[in-house]
Amino acid sequence: MLGMWLRSILPEHHLNTETKDLVKLGVGLIGTMAALLLGLLVASAKSSYDARSSELTQMAANTILLDRALAHYGPETAEVREVLKGAVNRMIAVVWGTDGKGRGIGAQTSGEILYDKIQELSPHTDAQKTLQSQAESMAISLGQTRWLLFEQAGSSISKPFLVVVVFWLSMLFVSFGLFAPVNATAITTLLVSAISVSGAMFLILELDAPFSGVIQISSAPLRNALTVMGR
């Protein structure tokens, strides 16, 4: 619409054939750069999304392994296993709940309590000593993954990137409107095109925030782990 308005106020010699050809060259250059930057943003957001999804699945698997190791240790680990199950429940509440910031500290504290409880175990056999050592290693690994997810909560896409690509795309549509005829078909075409490009930006921002919004990582791996734990 801005392009169409500019067309109505610009002198006629600003819209001659030579000017149109120059604008087309400039728009072609901007379009190419915008396409490259959009591709980079999509790749970055998708890579970040897949990495966090993989980390969450690995955490669920390690949680089950830790629970089974504690189960093989003996009945004296019942309290430790309850602490582990509670830590998973709190993790789900933090990531997919509504009070993530406040409960996030509690989730990390639960992980520290779990490690302390494992260290307090008093093994009586070599097998128990081995299981205790393995459980400590797995607890440390779970803590590392949990803190990694906590630290990665922010955006991985630079805001200047978004500003630049939005500016370029805006200039593209201004140029489209500058030489477009003022009729319903042209306006509808530009509107559909703008919605499509906005949809691409929406997908980028959604993939960059995998634990919120429409496209979010499922909590199914951790919830499935809860159904196995304690048996």
On the 0-12 / 13-18 / 19+ scale of CB atoms within 10 A, 210 is: buried
pLDDT in tens, 159-188: 888 888 889 999 999 988 888 888 889 889
Q: Are residues 114 and 221 in the same domain?
A: yes
In this prediction, residue 215 carries a pLDDT of 86
Number of structural domains (the chain) is: 2
Alpha-carbon span 49 to 215, nearest angstrom: 10
Q: Are residues 121 and 24 in the same domain?
A: no
Q: Has residue 119 been placed in a domain? A: yes
* Domain hosting residue 85, numbered range: 58-156+217-228
Q: Has residue 64 been placed in a domain? A: yes
Among the listed residues 68, 74, 71, the one whose alpha carbon sits nearest the alpha carbon of residue 125: 74
pLDDT in tens, 184-221: 898 899 999 999 999 988 988 888 888 887 888 888 99
Report residues of the chain scoring pLDDT below 70: 98-111, 153-154
Quick one: residue 230, left, alpha or beta (phi over 0 = left, psi -120 to 50 = alpha)?
A: left
